[in-house]
Structure 1
Amino acid sequence: MAATVDPVVDVLEEGKHPLDSLFRPKRVAVVGATDKEGSVGRTLLKNLISNPFGGVVYPVNPKREHVLGILAFRSIAACPGHVDLVIVVTPAATVPGVIQDCVDQGVKNAIIISAGFKEVGPEGEKLELEVQRIATKGNLRIVGPNCLGIICPTSGLNASFANLMPQKGSVAFISQSGAMITSVLDWSVSQKVGFSAVISIGSMLDMDFSSMIFYLAKDSATKSIVLYMESIGNARNFLSAARECSLTKPIIVIKGGRTDAAAKAAASHTGSLTGSDAVLDAAFKRAGVLRVDSMSDLFEMADVLSKQPLPNGNRLAILTNAGGPGVLATDALASHGGVVAELSPKTVQDLSGVLPAAWSHGNPIDVLGDATAKHYADSLEIVAKDPNCDGFLVILTPQAMTAPTDCAVALTKYAKIQGKPVLASWMGGPDVAPGAKVLNDAGIPTYAYPDMACRTFNYMHQYQTNLDSNYDRIDLKVDLEAVQAGKLQAQKLIASVRASGRSLLTEAESKLLLKAYGIPVTPCELANSPQEASAAAEKMGFPVVIKLNSTTITHKTDVGGVVLNLHTSYAVEKAYNDMKESVSRLASPEGFEGVTVQPMISLKGYEIILGSSLDPQLGPVLLFGTGGALVEVFQDSAVALPPLNPNLARKMLQETKLYKALLGVRGMGSVDMDQLIQIMVRFSVLILDLPEIAECDINPLIASEDSIMSLDARVLLHDPSVDAVDLPQPSIRPYPHQYVCSYDLDDGSKAKLRPILPEDEGLMRHFYARASWPDGCDPASMPNEEEHPTCTLDRQHLIRTCFVDFDRSIVLVAEVDKAIMGAGRISREEMSDDFTFSLQVLPECRKKGLGSKILKRLIELSRMEGAACIKADVFCENKRALRFLEGHGFRLGVPTHSGRLVPAKYQLTDSSHHRSRSRTGSKALAGDRKPTLMMS
């Protein structure tokens, strides 16, 4: 069957989004509108009627006939026509009743300006929960409470009590602080910054950052999104929305709390190293979000990213007519990760042909104090061609021989250099101001000082790195099915420990847990007497180590619970008795529960810590870094959110200082990096498979060029009284192993259906290439994909397919003989329990029943994921696909004016007058009218 791999469209009216009635309403009711001077109700109503948005406004106030000269209504029900948006400015105690009225009248969006909810205490929290209950039951979406409102300059809507209507622009600003918004709006007037939307989300009872990001991602007027954040809200939703949006639009965030003492020391080493701010940094990087340190940086970066391309590296070329500013720029660049580009010999030679002999002959490129506009322009043109340069900073200081405005005009033709940003610093006051304006108007961001420009360049590189590194390809696969083989054994071990009422695993139990997931551990034998210990040592072979076995003591070394390098049975027995005495004295007699005997591992390698702890906002967090007894002293570590794939594991490694040593230093060979990455991925799976784990440390994990071995481990579980449903959840949904299955095809061959992996990118590129071959062709006659690529897909399409967010979509691939022969996707519609799906099968497998197998599995998964309705969009002319879907229980429907579907089995609109559309991986199909097939 011919089908589509494109994202399926919403069944609502073309271009319609569930939140359009919030940002572009036709009828707005203001409950609590009043004439009272200085009141929120008056200011808000005045803002609405003073800024035409193409709709009507209904003041709702049962005590007044008119408000500001406009006819008032006693209730929402009394307002003529269907109200799209209700704005509530009444006291908190009355809000539940107002929200009930909204639900009764079928209103879909409300903004609660009123304060007095959970921020005031238990009574307010009770009110807020009641509002939430009513709204959820009535499918009403709420912004607020305790917010400033929203402003949409592109539609003319000012549904806020801000004192300014900002000018139109391409930046969307979302803030939890209303006061921050009013300050920014005031600042924006003098700076001439425009907005596509300004949103105050307040307490986030319902809609939060993620809701707004999902909407703004599809808003054509919005080019970048900036956030002022106090709390992340629903972490999983935020990361899901940000990951999706950041592929096409930059998201820049500022969040307080860097100096907050949230990173309190915990019982685990990992807990003491993973403060909430470090975890948030990791979360933002994972989502492709850029975090900045100041409000000026926030809007500066939004402006820059809308004008200039991101650099492909951190090498900056600096052109200047004075040495001092060049040195200042070099220092500022190096202090945050940038480097001064090394000019190629050809560039130096070419520059010598256009500049005076006394030029610097290096980077910074000092064009000298008497530089003309031509010197600047010729130099930038030459340097722009240098492959060693990723970006350019042009500095000008006002000197008698240099004309700032003429130089600026000469540079404007270089405002758009493919893949390389151009920044400028016109230093000075009134003399350089006209030139700075020329540059800014041409799209070259201009700064008063070069260090500011360098900071911006470093931010741009950081943002590009965040985006690219998340989706880098790595030729290493982890057999996740093999990793899952030990899951049942591990679950039984955890269950037995919890059943005993314990939370702390012994070292022996901890190592059994790691071993179940294929993480190498030292042999370990339990001994409950000196004689048992010496017998185990003799069996194992000297030298040995004995360690305390305890279900209550966390750190063994604190109580003398580790004795190394024992060479005789006598030494083992003596160490046993000494340890028993030491533990009884320093802790308690009950803390000593025997010892474990282990071989003395004398590896010449590096001590690593690999751990997991819980963040109150983001759930399980992973840590990798320099381990050993001084782990908190060195604090050389990287933090990441699970799940890891091989690329993300490698990225964690590279973020530590230890990484360079692991590659080999001072005569030591490189550690087996592939094995280390495998261990990290397996550890990530372990943590996600076993949510009962609260903390886990492998410390040390000894890595040498010969082997990698876990010498010690500590695992702390949640209290046995905590129910499974209350255990913390990861902020990124893990790989759904449970959806892997196999089928026999009609010709006797086997197909493995499984959720897609990032490592499948190469296979998927080949799949799309084969889908573009002519029908009936012999695959053996087609060119090799690696040598003669026939697939013109851009990488972003492959990223959206292979690096799928399982919380929003599940892509199933059908693997036959190690090749992908079919693929299907189910996607959850925004703000809905409806799912849409798409399906594609290579021609040679259509007659084998593969399409039916994938479709049936997609239907099963949709229902398992909680779908209320499953829908597909198919071209009218694709009769075979329509018959195929109807044969699997789907019925045809067409969108009605209300957006609901009605059965219309043969009501297919003739679309021959529409232009043809080509779809990736399939032949062009005539027409773009797509009736929806649905299954409830």
Structure 2
Amino acid sequence: MSTYHLQAVFRPQSVAVIGGSPRERSAGRAVMRNLRGTGFPGKVAWINPRYSEIDGIRTVKRLKDLDWVPELVVITAPASIVPQVVATAAERGVSAAIILTANLGEGPGSLAAQVEAAARPKGLRILGPHCLGVIAPHARLNASIAAHFPQAGDLALISESSAIAAALVEWGVARSVGFSAVVSLGDTLDVDFGDLLDYFATDYRTRAILLYVEHIRDARKFMSAARAAARAKPVVVVKSGRHIRINPDADTHVQALASTDAVYGAAFNRAGLLRVSALDELFTAAETLGRLGTFPGRRLAILSNGGGVGRLAVDQLLALRGSLAELSPATVAQLDAVLPQGWSRSNPVDIVVDADGDRYAAAIEALMSDTENDAVLVVNVPTAFTSSADAAQALTRTLGLRPRHHRDKPVFAVWLGNDDRATATLNAARVPTYPTEAEAVRGFQHLVRYRDAQAALMETPPSLPEDFVVDTAGARALVEAALAAGQQWLDPIATHQLLSAYGIPSAPVMQARDAHEAMDLAQPLLEQGATVAIKVFSADIPHKSDVDGVRLNLSTLQSVHAAATSIIARAHEKRPDARIDGVLVQPTIVRPKARELIAGIADDPTFGPVIVFGRGGTAVEVIDDKAIALPPLDLRLSHELIGRTRVSRILKAYRDVPAADERAVALILVKLAQLAADIPEIRTLDINPLLADRDGVIALDARVAIEPSRKLHKGRGHPRFAVFPYPKEWERTITLSDGAPAFVRPVRPEDDALFRAFFARVTDDDLRLRFFQSVKHFSHEFIARLTQLDYARSIALVAIDPRSGDMLGAVRLHADADYDRGEYGILIRSDLKGHGIGWRLMAIMIEYAQWLGLNIIEGQVLRENSTMLAMCQSLGFKTRLDPDDSTVMVVTLPVQDVQVPQAPDPATH
């Protein structure tokens, strides 16, 4: 239901507390005390059948006894009666309920299931159960059991844990940190992370969103909402359980590497969220991101009046894999002219211990104008020679005088000691100030990582990459045949064929039932001068090395016979329970300067298929050098995935070893992502080792586990992907009324300039009819909302003139989180009305809504917009007057009950 009725949670006009008693530890009493203590301006009632008065406040016995309907109810009643309380609230038309009561159970027949059954049909939103409640300082609302009420601010805190939410409220109160809202999710019966991210993404009081996450229940909904929110404002997340390992009995290396925490990290990265490791860092990151915008680059210049502190800052920067800027020759010369002899003449710039304000100003000005750095960290160590306050004033004065083209370069400050005047000066100039050089460098890296996350967020990999041609039908036939035969693993022959169908080079493989057959298969290879490898063949032995089941570089028939005999006997001895189907015979692949990698598909119970890459070999879990990404992938995302591993460094050239073909490695990852997209029955795919050198890549060993596909996410699209790919299949060419062609495709994030040029050719009156108000300025944020889509719930289609590349019009559809209803919007270039563009775009939009599984399309149209109303009626929409606004008509279409209209014949126009 997304943001439906959430306004009643955070800005209600009236509240009723249900439950409570005169007991000191009564939750209902604590909520009422908090509501009254913050001066909530709306109506408040207390419902309690046992007491007529508590704390001097009169109560009523039942919700039905109120002569008005509260927008929000806070339920603290005993668990056994909560379903009935919720049913009554739903019947009375209450918009939202916060349930603090615990122990409602879960699953069919539980009290929680009864609550859901009573609330959902009536549209009653449920927050909780077993939650802390809600604090909305701007609305003077404290519908919680928190000990204190924080000041109003611009940070929204969403915590899965009530205890963490309460602790962070106390942290904020102690440090005068203000919140736009604080909310704990509790057991998340209805309102979840996705709903709240959607809400706070468009809340003008919220500058940044802070998340405390333990686990996500609906991954696709979360990813859709998180990506949308992160495009609008910083979203910082901390997650518990970083070091909890899963899959101790994983049957492939990639599955063992794909720990829960690693997958969550990949999801946060793909959603554009900034992940931090601790609660205090959560606020530090939010403060940095709030005061400074993103910037291009990652090179940091460090200025200090103490050499030791500057060098410590460098150590911290390099430890966090940051980049230390070089000083340009011109900057060195400029600093030589203003600094005393003995300054460092390198980065970090040590301006000597007796530096006064003038020396600080000159050095800061030189670094700000140097194009070889992207940000500046200024450190001040208090000494008996100079004033820290004067140094702070010099910094802020210099920043105020810098030219416009230098104003986007961020500056960080570390003023050691406790100089209140210096701190006040820096705060007034909104310079982020940190108590230590380590925290300042971490703040800088937050910005770098946030910028990287935003770049990844802009990626929209196509669902059908154009870098290669695949045999999807052949690959699917292999998997379907194996499933029909009751197999859980593809045999090695089928695995080789599967990889070949997707253009993944792999060593040819042959099966021998015994040592004599192994000799027969090896003989042609040996006669060609090759050596062979013999490996145990058993579906019950996932790791061949566990039973000493591999022999390499065999050059004679006798050694082949001996190896096969030994491997089979050893396997029976080590694993008497396993079925041993013989051995595999392969030519030995000799690539002496190749790197051993691992690549594959793992399956996560929350996020579905993930792509794993890292250092290969028999000790992959011990080395634990891996990175994980959510599919789909393109080459840019694949290269980024590779770059997050240590093994990426040895893919480069070193000593007499040529660089490996990194593009070939990246392309393998794209192909694996496409394989996961095309065949959701693949549970896990493990290539280890994948050899990579300057000549390309080859898979030496691979295993593929399969099972019938289980739908993991609501809605259409891939049944198991958490991220929708760019829907290339919705690209098409249409014919306009005058016979001219137009190319229709989904909107991409890079369409910013296309939309700006389009709006320049739309009249003010047409803009008013579309947006219900006069639009004079198209901000980056405004355009971003139109172009940056995640495709799971939103689609926008543009019609483009194939000759000029100009945008002719666009239609947009946004579905609710339950994929029940969708809201549309459409706008056509003012000089092109009457060409049939709008009609055809609407027809495609209706077709898309049917494919998505929506039941209703609806929209709002100004009554004066007769052209749009006439088109809607011709397409089958029903119209009615908006009961809340007599100037607006509501148009609705039950899309599953209508046939997609065909375009009018151009010859008739």
Q: In structure 2, which of residues 491, 496, 500 is the aligned counterpart of residue 515 of structure 1?
A: 500
2:134 corresponds to: 150
Deviates more, 1:323-332 or 1:765-774: 765-774
Alignment check: 8 A CA contact 1:754 1:813 kept = yes
Alignment check: 8 A CA contact 2:15 2:42 kept = yes
Alignment check: 8 A CA contact 1:664 1:670 kept = yes
1:356 corresponds to: 340
Counterpart-to-counterpart distance in 1, 2:669 and 2:22: 64
1:729 corresponds to: 720
The answer as to 2:541 corresponding to 1:553 is yes
Counterpart-to-counterpart distance in 2, 1:660 and 1:801: 39
1:104 corresponds to: 91
SS at match of 2:232: coil
Deviates more, 1:510-519 or 1:352-361: 352-361
How many residue pairs are counted as aligned between the two chains? 865
Counterpart-to-counterpart distance in 2, 1:483 and 1:319: 50
1:156-214 Cα offsets, whole Å, 9 max, x none, are 11111222111111111122222333333233233111111111211212112221111
Offset of 1:99 from its aligned partner? 0.8
SS at match of 2:812: strand
Counterpart-to-counterpart distance in 1, 2:165 and 2:551: 61
1:656 corresponds to: 645
1:934 corresponds to: 892
2:611 corresponds to: 622
**CA separation of 1:263/1:582 partners in 2, compared to 1, >3 Å: closer, same or farther?**
closer
Counterpart-to-counterpart distance in 2, 1:397 and 1:807: 52
Offset of 1:440 from its aligned partner? 2.2
1:19-69 Cα offsets, whole Å, 9 max, x none, are 111111111111014444342211211211222333100111123333443
**CA separation of 1:489/1:102 partners in 2, compared to 1, >3 Å: closer, same or farther?**
farther
The answer as to 2:62 corresponding to 1:57 is no
Counterpart-to-counterpart distance in 2, 1:251 and 1:772: 30
**CA separation of 1:466/1:774 partners in 2, compared to 1, >3 Å: closer, same or farther?**
closer
Offset of 1:745 from its aligned partner? 7.3
Offset of 1:820 from its aligned partner? 8.8
2:900 corresponds to: none
SS at match of 2:31: helix
Counterpart-to-counterpart distance in 2, 1:275 and 1:528: 37
2:482 corresponds to: 497
1:476-515 Cα offsets, whole Å, 9 max, x none, are 9885489785333333322222222221221112122222
The answer as to 2:315 corresponding to 1:331 is yes
1:343 corresponds to: 327
SS at match of 2:338: coil
1:269-292 Cα offsets, whole Å, 9 max, x none, are 112222222222211111111122
Offset of 1:260 from its aligned partner? 2.2
Alignment check: 8 A CA contact 1:209 1:233 kept = no
What amino acid is aligned across from residue 488 of structure 2 in structure 1?
S
The answer as to 2:179 corresponding to 1:190 is no
**CA separation of 1:830/1:233 partners in 2, compared to 1, >3 Å: closer, same or farther?**
closer
SS at match of 1:353: helix
**CA separation of 1:158/1:518 partners in 2, compared to 1, >3 Å: closer, same or farther?**
same
Superposition map of 1:94-243 within 5 A: 94-118=81-105, 126-243=110-227
Alignment check: 8 A CA contact 2:758 2:806 kept = no
Superposition map of 1:772-921 within 5 A: 804-812=789-797, 824-829=811-816, 833-839=820-826, 852-873=839-860, 880-897=867-884, 909=887
1:586-638 Cα offsets, whole Å, 9 max, x none, are 33496232444433332342222111222333222211122233333433221
What amino acid is aligned across from residue 934 of structure 1 in structure 2?
T
SS at match of 1:729: coil
Offset of 1:413 from its aligned partner? 3.8
SS at match of 1:312: coil
Counterpart-to-counterpart distance in 1, 2:861 and 2:15: 37
Counterpart-to-counterpart distance in 1, 2:783 and 2:473: 34
The answer as to 2:460 corresponding to 1:460 is no
1:216-257 Cα offsets, whole Å, 9 max, x none, are 111111101112222233222222211111112111122221
SS at match of 1:585: helix
What amino acid is aligned across from residue 699 of structure 2 in structure 1?
S
The answer as to 2:424 corresponding to 1:437 is yes
The answer as to 2:665 corresponding to 1:666 is no
What amino acid is aligned across from residue 935 of structure 1 in structure 2?
L
Counterpart-to-counterpart distance in 1, 2:602 and 2:98: 38
2:380 corresponds to: 396
Alignment check: 8 A CA contact 2:819 2:852 kept = no
Alignment check: 8 A CA contact 1:620 1:728 kept = no
Q: Percent identity?
A: 35
1:918 corresponds to: none
**CA separation of 1:303/1:45 partners in 2, compared to 1, >3 Å: closer, same or farther?**
same
Counterpart-to-counterpart distance in 2, 1:574 and 1:844: 83
Superposition map of 1:10-89 within 5 A: 18-89=5-76
Counterpart-to-counterpart distance in 2, 1:685 and 1:800: 28
SS at match of 2:209: strand
Counterpart-to-counterpart distance in 1, 2:746 and 2:520: 50
1:422 corresponds to: 411
Relative contact order (C-alpha < 8 Å, sep 6+): which is higher?
Answer: 1
What amino acid is aligned across from residue 591 of structure 2 in structure 1?
L
Q: In structure 2, which of residues 549, 552, 575 is the aligned counterpart of residue 587 of structure 1?
A: 575
1:598 corresponds to: 586
1:925 corresponds to: none
Counterpart-to-counterpart distance in 2, 1:274 and 1:80: 56
1:396-451 Cα offsets, whole Å, 9 max, x none, are 2222221122322332345676332222222123xx23312321233122222222
2:906 corresponds to: none
SS at match of 1:271: helix
Alignment check: 8 A CA contact 2:545 2:618 kept = no
1:900-922 Cα offsets, whole Å, 9 max, x none, are xxxxxxx8x4xxxxxxxxxxxxx
Q: Say what the alpha-carbon RMSD is for the aligned residues.
A: 3.6
**CA separation of 1:652/1:345 partners in 2, compared to 1, >3 Å: closer, same or farther?**
same
Deviates more, 1:614-623 or 1:873-882: 873-882
SS at match of 2:60: coil
Alignment check: 8 A CA contact 2:665 2:696 kept = no
SS at match of 1:277: helix
Counterpart-to-counterpart distance in 1, 2:739 and 2:663: 37
Counterpart-to-counterpart distance in 1, 2:302 and 2:757: 47
Counterpart-to-counterpart distance in 1, 2:519 and 2:733: 51
Counterpart-to-counterpart distance in 2, 1:319 and 1:125: 65
SS at match of 2:139: coil
Counterpart-to-counterpart distance in 2, 1:86 and 1:709: 62
Counterpart-to-counterpart distance in 1, 2:782 and 2:651: 35
Counterpart-to-counterpart distance in 2, 1:813 and 1:585: 66
Counterpart-to-counterpart distance in 2, 1:521 and 1:846: 56
Offset of 1:768 from its aligned partner? 4.5
Unpaired runs of 5+ in structure 2?
A: 401-405, 763-776, 895-909
Alignment check: 8 A CA contact 2:221 2:817 kept = no
**CA separation of 1:405/1:628 partners in 2, compared to 1, >3 Å: closer, same or farther?**
same
Unpaired runs of 5+ in structure 1?
A: 1-9, 776-791, 900-906, 910-929
Counterpart-to-counterpart distance in 2, 1:827 and 1:240: 12
Offset of 1:571 from its aligned partner? 5.5
SS at match of 1:628: coil
2:239 corresponds to: 255
Counterpart-to-counterpart distance in 2, 1:42 and 1:151: 16
Counterpart-to-counterpart distance in 2, 1:209 and 1:876: 37
The answer as to 2:628 corresponding to 1:639 is yes
1:125-150 Cα offsets, whole Å, 9 max, x none, are 92222222222233221111111110
Deviates more, 1:655-664 or 1:398-407: 655-664
